[in-house]
Amino acid sequence: MLLIPINRTSDVSLIRQIYQYIREQILNGSLKSGDKLPSTRELSSNLNVSRNVTLSAYDQLMAEGFIVTRKGAGTFIAEGTYLGNDKGYLHADISIQDNEIECNDIINFRSGIPALDFFPRKTWAKLSNIICYESSSSIFGYGVPEGRIELREVISQYLYKTRRVFCQPDQIIITTGAVQALALVSKLLLSPEDEVLIEDPITNDIQKMFKSSGASLLPIPVDNNGIKTDLLPIKKKPKFVFFTPSHQFPLGGTLPAQRQIQLINYARKVDSYLVEDDYDSEFRYEHSPVSSIQGLAPERVLYIGSFSKILSPALRMGYLILPMHLVKECRKIKHYLDLHTPSLDQLTLAQFITKGHLERHILRMKRIYKKRRDYLITQLKKTFAESINISGYSTGLHLIVEFRKLKFTKDMIQYILRKYSVKIYLVEDHTIEKGKHLNKVILGYGHLSEDEIKEGINRLCKALNSIVSCK
């Protein structure tokens, strides 16, 4: 007799329960090739279910090749259906790393997260519904890899107006965020053993992406004004220079005009490209956003932008602007990566920008972020007094705190998280040449309320007081 446990209160149908049980017994060898199964009539009687249920379960097993019928003999387990266990695979205990811990009580000063509760969901939903219901059926088909022309045209106009980016819509590739734009740059320009000049420190994920192509990273130090252009190596032939001139990550400097000119002249001299990552320059608090370097040398610059920090990371929407001679090959690469970026979201974003919603949203969020930034600075000064220096706060969603009497380690960061439920981030984690930024931490604030900021700084002080006096 085949004893199958049945749960009549389960959301899983009876057919599925019978099918799954028999399938698992076949795969693990409890039911062996050639074993005879009870008839559907007998099984339905034993389980007190309709015969149609057992017929449907057997039909599914037969369709997938797990069982066969022999005329006049019955139903049997098919040959070659035993899977067994991989004894060579060690089923190690899975431990959750501290950076994966999800806990409502943790105050997380992670950088780059916008205030998601202020996402203009009603406006976005209204525009999305209009597009979905009123557009032609063609929008539901396959799109082109470079993105919808409607969005590329709007982005071209918007960037010229706000950042002095000079490009035609045909130079724009719509991406699923900055990460894909960086992947496209890697596949487009890099081969094994190529060299890339890159700011140091710079986002660790970007370092890993470029290294994965086989390229060597040549770090160029950064100061409070961004990449130190006087240290660019004349005797090298890098494929490109990667930099974040509007708001250097993580230290926060803005590249002055003199260094911009030096960088362009360097690229022309060594016949190299410049990759300009403009990840959050919209949120500049004392002045208007600075103009792009792309506008000074469009033939040399690959310009990367994203809407993740302006609106929401969940949209997965960004762009890559290329010199025209690189566009055709990049479109091919984009096609092989994912065919195209979702069309409905592109059209919604195009309307969102066209109707002025994006600019209004940015103005609103600048006021909110500036207030949160100022409150964070006030709490830091109040709590830590003269023992810290604060920098990198003119733009974006994070700032840098330098502790004069401390050198942080990863163990200290984990201790602070475990014991005091506050998470901070080390500048040192984003360095290539280690040991130069051991006393600096990154504090993101865009997603935190004032109450959370205050509580987070209080917890941080208590944690540091257990290591060394705050003041």
Domains 14-77 and 120-355 share a fold: no
Q: Is 138 exposed, middle or buried (0-12, 13-18, 19+ CB in 10 A)?
A: exposed
3-state secondary structure of 367: helix
Structure tokens at 399: 């700032």
Q: Hey, what CATH class is 14-77 in?
A: mainly alpha
Residues in the chain, total: 471
Q: What is the dihedral of CA 29, 33, 37, 40, to 10 degrees?
A: 100
3-state secondary structure of 430: helix
pTM more than 0.75 = yes
Q: Hey, what CATH class is 100-113+360-465 in?
A: alpha beta
92-113: pLDDT as tens digits: 443 334 444 445 589 999 999 9
Alpha-carbon torsion (64, 69, 75, 81), positive or negative: negative
Q: Is 133 exposed, middle or buried (0-12, 13-18, 19+ CB in 10 A)?
A: exposed
What topology is assigned to 120-355 in CATH? Aspartate Aminotransferase; domain 2 (3.40.640)
Element (H, E) at 172: strand 172-175
Q: Is 146 exposed, middle or buried (0-12, 13-18, 19+ CB in 10 A)?
A: buried
* Short-list 352, 260, 334, CA closest to 297: 260
Question: Could you tell me the residue ranges of all domains in the chain?
Answer: 14-77, 100-113+360-465, 120-355
Cα–Cα separations (whole angstroms), residue 441 to 220, 221, 398: 20, 18, 10
**Full pLDDT tens readout for the chain, 471 residues:** 688 988 988 888 999 999 999 999 999 999 999 999 999 999 999 999 999 999 999 999 999 999 999 989 999 999 999 987 665 544 444 333 444 444 558 999 999 999 999 999 999 999 999 999 999 999 999 999 999 999 999 999 999 999 999 999 999 999 999 999 999 999 999 999 999 999 999 999 999 999 999 999 999 999 999 999 999 999 999 999 999 999 999 999 999 999 999 999 999 999 999 999 999 889 999 888 889 999 999 999 999 999 999 999 999 999 999 999 999 999 999 999 999 999 999 999 999 999 999 999 999 999 999 999 999 999 999 999 999 999 999 999 999 999 998 999 999 999 999 999 999 999 999 999 999 999 999 999 999 999 999 999 999 999 999 987 554
Cα–Cα separations (whole angstroms), residue 443 to 35, 100, 126, 344, 424: 64, 18, 35, 35, 6
Cα–Cα separations (whole angstroms), residue 412 to 42, 172, 259, 350: 66, 44, 37, 46
